Amino acid sequence: MARAPRQGPYICGIDAALDVVSGKWKGLILWELDSHGVRRFAELRRALPGVSEKMLTQHLRELEEDGLVHREVYAEVPPRVEYSLTEQGRALNQALRPLGAWGTERIRQQSIATVGEVAAADARGRAPRG
């Protein structure tokens, strides 16, 4: 069930910002669309290991309702739907970049394994670092 965008009252700007990116997958969806521009549903699903179809659909709808993602439906057979960032979505990603840099540094400092490293280690039959 789709929800209406929250209208506040907010405690502060951080509260308002975190409201639209809350949930495990929203930040990753925004990052994927920022990195690749336009994506179809199946492309997003492949790029986000572990996300269910239901959860991806829900988060995409919420991001669209919040004005961060644009959904373009083409009248073709079979139907084609593409997702891209709106201007607000691009602005939010710009604001999230320092947070991403902080996270990258934390991964490095604490030797935390990334998903790519885990997948590569699994392919080689070894345990990942961290």
Q: Where are the domains of the chain?
A: 13-124
Would you state the pLDDT for residue 9?
Answer: 87
Would you state the pLDDT for residue 30?
Answer: 97
pTM value is 0.80
Contacts of 46 (CB under 8 A, 6+ apart): none
Would you state the pLDDT for residue 129?
Answer: 56
Would you state the pLDDT for residue 1?
Answer: 44
Mean pLDDT, contiguous 10-residue spans, the chain (130 residues): 64 90 93 96 95 97 96 92 97 94 87 69 63
Contacts of 95 (CB under 8 A, 6+ apart): 17
Q: Which CATH number fits domain 13-124: 3.40.50.1820, 3.40.50.410, 1.10.10.10, 3.40.50.2300?
A: 1.10.10.10
Instruction: Give the span between the Cα atoms of 70 and 79, in whole angstroms.
Output: 16
Cβ atoms within 10 A of the Cβ of 73, count? 9
Cβ atoms within 10 A of the Cβ of 86, count? 16
Structural tokens at position 117: 């490293």
Instruction: Specify the amino acid at residue 106.
Output: R
Rounded to the nearest angstrom, the gap between the alpha carbon of residue 49 and the centroid of all alpha carbons in its chain is 12
- The bridge status of strand 39-40 relative to strand 69-74 is unpaired
Instruction: Give the span between the Cα atoms of 32 and 101, in whole angstroms.
Output: 16
